[in-house]
Chains A and B, each alone.
Chain A
Amino acid sequence: MTTPSNAPRHKASNKTLQIRHAPHLASGMSVDQIMRNVVVALLPVSAFAVYVFGLAAALVLGTAVASCVATEQMWCRARGQHSTVGDWSAVVTGLLLGLTLPPSLPLWMVAVGGVGAVGIGKLLFGGLGGNPFNPALVGRALLQAAFPVAMTTWPSKRGALGTLFPSTLTPPFCKPAYDTVSGATPLADWKFSQISVSTSDLFIGTTTGSTGETSSLLILLGGVFLIARGMMSWHIPVAILLAVAVMSSGLHAWDPARFASPQFMLLSGGLMLGAVFMATDPVGSPMTHLGCVIYGVLIGALVVVIRVWGGLPEGVMYAILIGNAVSPHIDNWVQPRAYGTGRLPHV
């Protein structure tokens, strides 16, 4: 048998080798990358908001993002920690908060909301990953409680690209000035005056409402983008929308005069934005697919209940906050069944 020569053919490297633990490969996914992708998915919605409501919408979004990022930066500096702004979660929170606010909201109130969202909603609970509730919705709930009139006053007409609403630049702690005629959202119209808006207007987004909630089309596109990139699972939005569709279809079939049609329920208000971008916040949602479906159905049912029987025209914010509160319990009920243990339902 002939054997190859055993004379060394190459000189061994003198380099120091790393000793690492396995695995020596990684998917390359990172938290900041996911957050940046959410921002990208929200850009069309934000751009459309500026197109519909004008410069005021851009200022609301900008103020919300800036106040969120500044709050996180100052918190980290005050506590002598490394800045966590680089994870981009404050930017996402700010953008989401801005998109849920009326475009004519005075900017100082927007800033208060941003400070509340990141400060109370996230940092007090230990930062990213520790927040039980969606921080943007905490900020919005704070504003809803503090400024109920400003938070439910909507501009009646579309803003031109270069104009502001009279209320936008209200100085802090002053009563905002509004146009003599203020508008109502399609949901409020339906609830209090039984006026319905065309489905296509709702889908495209040329109605009044919060800055970023009007265009269902662009919100869905953003969601499809995130799901296609593997950064979001489809279970939660689909469960919420299906639950709303099924429940409102049943009610509408029973009494069409009293209950709005399912397409109106699905496309109006903050449902799309909430289902696609708010309820899917991984921190506040369950971990298993079954858990996500339960959570989604719960939120969808609460949205319909609040809208139909509640005192408010819109209930997406409260539905999601309640969902966030229940989420850890759902996780306890539906743990995955470990391989080789008992015969429990497959999740």
Chain B
Amino acid sequence: MNIFRRHPKTFAHGIHPPEHKDQTNSLPIRQFPFAPALIVPLKQHIGNAAVPVVREGQEVTRGQLIAEPDGFVSVALHAPSSGIVRRIGLAPSITGEMRPAIFIEPFPASTQERLEGEPCDVETATPSEIIQAVQQAGIVGLGGAGFPSHAKMQVPEGKFIDTLIINGAECEPYLTADHRVMLEQPQDVILGVRYLLKATAASKAIIGIEANKQDAADSLRAAIPDGAPITVEVLPVKFPQGAAEMLIKVLLGREKPTGARAADIHTLVFNVTSTSEIGRLLPHGAGLQERVITISGSAVRDKGNYRIAVGTPIRFVLEQVGLADDVSCVFLGGPMMGQALSSLDIPVMKDTLGVVALTERETGPLATRKEYACIRCAACVDACPMFLNPSQLGLLAKHGQFERMQDELHLSQCFECGSCTFVCPSHIPLVHDFRIAKAALWKARASA
């Protein structure tokens, strides 16, 4: 044994929640049926809402542009199905707020032929043409952030990017959509990386994958053309490795200073499914009108990885896959950072990672367990990947000392991964308290 062997790359702290990925990681991506009514919110990304270019009663074809970007930090929207625009009005969102959306009624007998636009070829297109094509394709961060990909690709004046990071960590339990995309569409991923390399003028790209997806890593490695500056790194499994901050530290050994952007430390992080969509859509000039999500959890009967039209209501999704009688909680995304649903009438959006439904038996203990006082056991300190002190932050939050949380203990560095709350033996809802503190601070600063 070589004792000088380099320690496998990972970050300090973090947690190992139960993975639950074996429920769906061997199931190939399947096409999900079209719902009888689709709800396409105008704002499925960070930035300005898109502006509709269709009117009520108009017929649309699948893939047709239905809303244009409003400014640079905004993306286009495409019809997820051939059908008729029934209404443009307000629809419920996951936060409970009503937001503008385009309601489309698909034609039941349609062949769902996809409308395509002007192709963008990776060999001949200029960087600015690629960036514009990505905006027109409506591609956003599909890992849950929803930040427009083209806006990220636009490297600020005076900055340069040396390494691109493609995030295939997928560290959230239950989720396997990225895994299946890497396994089944390696060519799309690699082509997407080539578009990104060209647009950002980066010299190399690293695809970071956790070790529970070794087959995906092998599949990608086989798809890399000879001489391409693209490498695949297999990382030990640990949550929250898929956070951009962690992946930058793991792969490049760099830390993003407080308040800085990734470009300030010469890197950019793109989600692997966003990358594969760039590779899949740009050569055809097509738009993003569907995505791959994982539908899983013990309360789901027909678990799997589905390619599903954006705008499909969650109620329809659940009716199709079927729920167990003792379902108690449905949430979008993974169980660590996902949001529980307040309404089933909200649609699948571009940044929806998955739908997970759990049974009473799993969530019951969480709902009824007793909260104890903090015993300063420091389990949260040892879990926090950002090296904060959640115990002390939690005590300050209980006393409403939000300013001190920010000024002395770097509250804004918390990206709400939930690791502290996961490990807390006193069952203190730490991350929830931090969200409340951040909201209160944000409100106070906005009105000041």
Evaluate contact between A25 and B388: CB separation under 8 angstroms: no
Residue of B nearest to A282 (CB): B377
Partner among A9, A32, A128, A130 whose Cβ is within 8 Å of the Cβ of B319: A9
Complexed CA–CA distance, A128 and B370 (Å): 14
> How many cross-chain pairs have Cβ atoms below 8 Å apart between A and B?
202
Complexed CA–CA distance, A287 and B392 (Å): 10
Q: A12-B323, A336-B388 are in contact. Are A87 and B372 (CB under 8 A)?
A: yes
Stretch from B117-125, B224-232, B281-289, B421-429 at the A interface: B421-429
Contacts of A128 in B (CB 8 A): 372-373, 375
Evaluate contact between B378 and A13: CB separation under 8 angstroms: no
At the interface, yes or no: B111 with Cβ under 8 Å from chain A?
yes
Least Cβ distance of B64 to chain A in Å? 16
Interface size grouping (class) on chain A? 35 or more
Contacts of B17 in A (CB 8 A): 23, 25, 27
At the interface, yes or no: B56 with Cβ under 8 Å from chain A?
no
Evaluate contact between B375 and A341: CB separation under 8 angstroms: no
Complexed CA–CA distance, A34 and B379 (Å): 12
Q: Chain A contact residues: over half helix, strand or loop, or mixed?
A: loop
Evaluate contact between A25 and B112: CB separation under 8 angstroms: no
Type the 1/0 row for B411-423, where 1 means its CB is closer than 8 Å to any CB of A. Answer: 0010010100111
Least Cβ distance of A100 to chain B in Å? 21
Complexed CA–CA distance, A140 and B205 (Å): 63
Q: Chain B contact residues: over half helix, strand or loop, or mixed?
A: loop
Evaluate contact between A18 and B335: CB separation under 8 angstroms: no
Contacts of A340 in B (CB 8 A): 245, 255-258, 260, 386, 413
Evaluate contact between A4 and B32: CB separation under 8 angstroms: yes
- Chain B 100-125 interface residues, beta-carbon cutoff 8 Å to A: 108, 111-113
Centre residue among A15, A283, A285 by max chain B CB count within 10 A: A15
Least Cβ distance of B69 to chain A in Å? 28
Type the 1/0 row for A282-315, where 1 means its CB is closer than 8 Å to any CB of B. Answer: 1101111100000000000000000000000000
- Chain B 223-270 interface residues, beta-carbon cutoff 8 Å to A: 245, 249, 255-258, 260
Q: A10-B322, A338-B386 are in contact. Are A130 and B373 (CB under 8 A)?
A: yes
At the interface, yes or no: B126 with Cβ under 8 Å from chain A?
no
Partner among B257, B301, B382, B421 whose Cβ is within 8 Å of the Cβ of A23: B421
Least Cβ distance of B161 to chain A in Å? 19
Evaluate contact between B173 and A25: CB separation under 8 angstroms: yes
Stretch from B146-154, B190-198, B339-347 at the A interface: B339-347
Complexed CA–CA distance, A336 and B382 (Å): 10
At the interface, yes or no: B158 with Cβ under 8 Å from chain A?
no
Partner among A20, A26, A336 whose Cβ is within 8 Å of the Cβ of B427: A26
Contacts of A27 in B (CB 8 A): 15, 17, 422-423, 425
Least Cβ distance of B113 to chain A in Å? 7
Q: A31-B425, A339-B255 are in contact. Are A6 and B322 (CB under 8 A)?
A: no
Residue of A nearest to B15 (CB): A27
Evaluate contact between A19 and B379: CB separation under 8 angstroms: no
At the interface, yes or no: A181 with Cβ under 8 Å from chain B?
no
Centre residue among B379, B413, B431 by max chain A CB count within 10 A: B379
- Chain B 366-385 interface residues, beta-carbon cutoff 8 Å to A: 366-367, 369-370, 372-379, 381-382, 384-385
**B residues near A, CB below 8 A?**
15, 17-18, 31-36, 108, 111-113, 173, 245, 249, 255-258, 260, 301, 315-316, 318-323, 325-331, 335-342, 344, 356, 358, 363, 365-367, 369-370, 372-379, 381-382, 384-389, 391-392, 409-410, 413, 416, 418, 421-427, 429, 431-432, 435
Q: List 12 A-B contacts (CB under 8 A).
A: A10-B301, A10-B320, A10-B321, A17-B329, A18-B328, A18-B329, A21-B435, A23-B431, A25-B336, A30-B370, A339-B386, A339-B413
Q: What 10 pairs between A and B have smallest CB-CB spacing?
A: A10-B322, A129-B373, A23-B418, A287-B378, A6-B33, A24-B335, A282-B377, A338-B410, A8-B319, A339-B386
